C-alpha cells in the first residue's frame, strides 16, 4: 500500500529561508512561543502522526465509507481511534487562544498542520477542519456567554463543528435560503428547514456537534439582507457545560458521492431545533464570511495536498516501473528496459506535479503570514488593522482556492497517467486521489464563483484595480532587485513584463465592462487563472533566488536540493507559465461569442 511522507525539508525551506517566519513570529503579539525549535518539534510530531496514523487509513476509509443507521452516522474503522490520538495530542487547539484551552500559537501553524493532515488523509482531516471555522466564527462574532459555552470543548476537540449553508433549492445563491428561525420567549430560536451537502454533519468522533446555521427570522428582508446566523448544537449544553438533552436536528441521509467517501456528507433536518443567534439580526451572511474565508483557504490546501501525494507515489512508481528504452540511449543497461523516469514525457508529468505542489505550497505560506497579522489584529482589538489585512487576504483567497484546486486536479490526473493502466485500478490509490480531489473545485464556491469574486468584487468593484496594483508592486520591486543577476535575470525580466500586463489587462477589462456587463463573467475564469500563474511565477522566482544564493554562498543542505529548486523554476517558466498568455488572449475575447446563441438553439437537434 502506498504511504505518505511529510515534506518537512520543503516546508522548512519556505518557513526559514524564503519567508523568514522566525522574524515574522517574533513580531507577532501571539508569536512569542513559536520559536524555531518549537516549530520544528511541532512539524516533526505532526508529520509522524500523519505518516503513521492517518496515511494508513486513507485507502481503507475509502473502501468502507460512512454508514447511517437509526439516525446515527459511524465513520470507517480506525477513524475514531485516530481522532482520539489527535485530541490527546492537543492538535485542535494549536492556534486557539490560551484562555479557551488552546496553545495560543499563530494561525499559520494550524495551516501547516492542516496541510500535512489533509495530504495524508483528506477525508479524515475534514472532521476537525470544519470545527476550526466554527471556532473562528464564534470567537469573532459570539457573545461572551457563547464563547465560554462552546469554545473550550471545541478547542479541546471534544465537540465538533459544521457550516450549514446549502439547501436543496440553493447553493451559492444564499439569498434563496428558506430555513426559518422562530423567536422564543427565553431568547432562543426554533429552526426549521433542511440543509444539504453538510460535511461532518453527523459522526461518531465527538460527543457533540455545533452547527453554524444560516436561517431567516420572521418578516426578515428578502434576499441576502434578511439572513441571520445561529448556533444549533446536536445536544444542548447542560448547566455545567457538558452534554445535555438531544436537540431535534438529525441526519436524514448520507450523500452518495464520487469521492471523499470516508467524510460524512449529510442531509441535515432541523425540526424545531433550538438555536441561538450569533451576531446581529439579518447580518448572518457577513458573519459567515469569517467561516467562508477560513474554509476557502483550507480548501486551497486540497489543491496542494493531492499534487504532493500524487507526485510522491508517481515518482516512486516511475523509478521502479520499466518500459522501453530511452530515446537518448540505454539508461539501465543491465535491465530488460529503462525505468519510466528516463522518458521525457514522464518527466514532463512529474515535473508538472512537483511545480504545482511546491509552488502552491509557497503561495499558501505567503498568504498565511497575512492571515497571522489579521488574526493578531483581531485578538489585539485593532479593528482597523484587522480590516486592512483582511482586505489583503481577501484578494489572495479566490486565487488560492480557485487556481490551486484546478491545478490540483490536473496534478492528480497526471499521477494516474504516469501509472498508465495501473493508475485506473484501485490497488495503487491513484484513482482515489482523483475522485477525492474533484470536489475541491466545487465546494466553498466553484471556480467560477471564485473568479467572479476576484474580478467582479475584489478587483473592479471594491478597489477599481487597486488590489492588482498593490500586489504587482511587490512583484515588480522583487524583480528589479534581481534583474541584474545573471542567473535570476530571465525570471526577473519575465516577472516585470507579467506585472505590467496584469495591470493593463485589469484596466482594459474595467473599460470594456462599462459597456458590456457580461464581460465580467465572460473574462473572470481566465483572469483568475492568469492571476494564479503569475502569482506562482513570483513564488518560484523567490524560491530560486534563495536557492541560488545558497549555492553561491553555501548552505547547510546539500547542493541537490537547491539545484532541484532552480531546475523546477526553469521548468515552470518554460513549460507552465506560457499558459498565462492563452488566458490573457481569451479574457479579452468579446462576450458575444458566449451570449449570442439563444438558449433554445443550444438544444441537441440530432
HEC string of 348-366?
A: HHHHHHHHHHHHHHHHHHH
pLDDT, tens digit (0-9, with 9 covering 90-100), for 376-418: 998 888 989 988 998 999 999 999 999 999 999 999 999 999 9
Where residue 337 falls (left for φ over 0; alpha for ψ -120 to 50; beta otherwise) is beta
Candidates 210, 203, 173, 205; CA nearest to 265 is 203
Please give the positions annotated as active site: 444
pLDDT at residue number 393: 92
**CA nearest to 430, candidates 592, 312, 550, 523:** 312
* pLDDT value of residue 338: 85
Residue 584: per-residue pLDDT: 98
Q: Kindly state the percentage of the chain with pLDDT values over 70.
A: 98
User: What distance in Å separates the CA atoms of residue 327 and residue 301, rounded to the nearest whole number?
Assistant: 37
pLDDT at 539: 98
Residue 437: CB atoms within 10 A of its CB come to 27
Running DSSP on this structure, what letter comes out for residue 326? -
CA dist., res. 402 & res. 448, Å (int): 8
Residues of the chain with pLDDT under 70: 1, 290-295, 555-557, 605-606
Q: Report how far apart, in Å, the C-alpha atoms of 419 and of each of 314, 431, 441, 460 are.
A: 7, 10, 24, 44
Torsion, Cα 220 221 224 229, to 10 degrees, reads -20
494 three-state secondary structure: helix
pLDDT (tens digit per residue) in 567-577: 999 999 999 99
Mean pLDDT of the chain: 94
**Which residue(s) pair with 265 in the sheet?**
199
Length of the chain: 606
Cα 264 from Cα 202, distance rounded (Å): 7
Residue 232 is given by DSSP the state E
Taking the C-alpha atoms of residue 392 and residue 301, their distance in angstroms, rounded to an integer, is: 19
∠ CA 412-446-165, nearest 5°, is 120
Instruction: Determine the pLDDT at residue 378.
Output: 85
Query: Phi-psi bin for 63: left (phi > 0), alpha (psi -120 to 50), beta?
Result: alpha
Give the span between the Cα atoms of 142 and 136, in whole angstroms. Answer: 9
Question: In angstroms, rounded to a whole number, what is the distance separating the alpha carbons of residues 70 and 466?
Answer: 55
Burial 270-301 (b: 16+ CB within 10 A, else e): beebbbbbbbeebebbebbebbbbbbbbbbbb
Query: Can you give the pLDDT at residue 51?
Result: 98
Q: Each residue of 173-223: pLDDT tens digit?
A: 777 899 999 999 999 999 999 999 999 999 999 999 999 999 999 989 988
Amino acid at each position: 500500500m502506498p504511504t505518505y511522507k511529510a515534506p518537512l525539508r520543503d516546508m522548512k525551506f519556505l518557513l526559514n529561508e524564503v519567508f523568514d517566519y522566525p522574524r515574522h513570529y517574533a513580531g507577532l503579539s501571539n508569536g512569542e512561543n513559536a520559536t524555531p525549535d518549537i516549530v520544528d518539534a511541532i512539524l516533526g510530531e505532526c508529520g509522524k502522526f500523519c505518516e503513521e496514523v492517518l496515511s494508513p487509513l486513507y485507502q481503507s476509509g475509502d473502501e468502507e465509507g460512512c454508514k447511517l443507521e437509526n439516525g446515527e452516522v459511524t465513520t470507517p474503522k480506525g477513524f475514531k481511534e485516530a481522532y482520539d490520538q489527535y485530541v490527546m495530542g492537543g492538535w485542535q487547539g494549536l492556534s486557539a487562544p490560551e484562555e479557551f484551552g488552546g496553545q495560543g500559537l499563530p494561525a499559520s501553524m494550524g495551516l501547516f498542520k492542516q496541510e500535512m493532515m489533509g495530504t495524508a488523509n483528506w477525508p479524515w482531516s475534514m472532521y476537525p477542519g470544519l470545527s476550526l471555522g466554527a471556532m473562528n466564527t464564534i470567537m469573532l462574532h459570539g457573545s461572551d456567554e457563547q464563547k465560554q459555552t462552546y469554545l473550550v470543548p471545541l478547542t479541546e476537540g471534544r465537540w465538533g463543528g459544521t457550516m450549514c449553508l446549502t439547501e436543496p433549492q440553493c447553493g451559492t445563491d444564499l439569498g434563496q435560503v428558506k430555513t426559518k428561525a422562530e423567536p422564543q420567549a427565553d431568547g432562543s430560536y426554533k429552526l426549521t428547514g433542511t440543509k444539504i451537502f453538510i460535511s461532518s454533519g453527523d459522526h461518531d468522533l465527538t460527543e457533540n456537534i455545533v452547527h453554524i446555521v444560516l436561517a431567516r427570522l420572521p418578516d426578515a428582508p428578502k434576499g441576502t439582507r434578511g439572513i441571520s446566523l445561529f448556533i444549533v448544537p446536536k445536544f444542548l449544553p447542560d448547566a455545567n457545560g457538558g452534554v445535555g438533552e438531544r436537540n431535534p436536528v438529525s441526519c436524514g441521509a448520507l450523500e452518495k458521492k464520487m469521492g471523499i467517501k470516508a467524510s460524512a456528507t449529510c442531509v441535515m433536518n432541523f425540526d424545531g431545533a433550538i438555536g441561538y443567534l450569533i451576531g446581529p439580526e439579518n447580518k448572518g451572511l457577513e458573519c459567515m464570511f469569517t467561516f467562508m474565508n477560513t474554509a476557502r483557504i483550507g480548501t486551497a490546501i486540497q489543491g496542494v495536498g493531492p499534487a504532493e501525494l500524487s507526485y510522491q507515489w508517481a515518482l516512486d512508481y516511475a523509478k521502479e516501473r520499466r518500459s522501453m528504452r530511452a530515446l537518448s540511449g540505454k539508461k539501465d543497461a543491465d535491465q530488460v528496459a529503462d525505468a519510466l523516469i528516463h522518458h521525457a514525457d514522464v518527466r514532463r508529468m512529474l515535473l508538472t506535479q512537483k511545480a504545482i505542489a511546491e509552488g502552491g505550497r509557497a503561495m499558501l505560506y505567503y498568504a498565511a503570514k497575512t492571515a497571522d497579522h489579521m488574526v493578531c489584529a483581531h485578538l489585539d482589538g485593532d479593528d482597523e488593522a484587522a480590516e486592512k489585512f483582511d482586505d489583503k487576504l481577501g484578494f489572495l483567497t479566490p486565487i488560492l482556492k480557485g487556481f490551486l484546486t484546478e491545478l490540483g486536479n490536473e496534478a492528480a490526473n497526471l499521477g494516474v497517467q504516469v501509472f498508465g493502466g495501473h493508475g485506473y485500478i484501485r490497488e495503487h490509490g491513484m484513482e482515489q486521489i482523483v475522485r477525492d480531489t474533484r470536489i475541491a473545485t466545487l465546494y466553498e464556491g466553484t471556480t467560477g464563483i471564485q473568479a467572479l469574486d476576484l474580478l467582479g468584487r475584489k478587483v473592479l468593484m471594491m478597489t477599481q484595480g487597486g488590489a492588482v496594483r498593490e500586489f504587482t508592486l511587490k512583484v515588480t520591486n522583487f524583480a528589479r532587485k534581481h534583474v541584474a543577476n545573471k542567473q535570476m535575470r530571465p525570471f526577473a525580466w519575465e516577472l516585470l513584463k507579467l506585472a505590467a500586463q496584469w495591470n493593463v489587462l485589469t484596466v482594459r477589462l474595467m473599460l470594456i465592462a462599462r459597456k458590456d456587463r457580461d464581460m465580467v463573467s465572460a473574462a473572470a475564469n481566465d483572469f483568475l487563472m492568469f492571476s494564479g500563474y503569475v502569482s506562482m511565477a513570483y513564488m518560484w522566482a523567490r524560491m530560486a533566488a534563495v536557492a541560488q544564493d545558497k549555492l553561491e554562498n553555501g548552505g547547510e543542505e546539500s547542493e541537490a536540493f537547491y539545484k532541484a529548486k532552480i531546475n523546477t523554476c526553469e521548468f515552470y517558466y518554460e513549460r507552465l507559465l506560457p499558459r498565462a498568455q492563452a488566458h490573457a488572449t481569451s479574457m479579452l475575447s468579446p462576450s458575444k461569442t458566449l451570449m449570442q446563441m439563444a438558449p433554445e438553439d443550444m438544444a441537441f437537434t440530432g
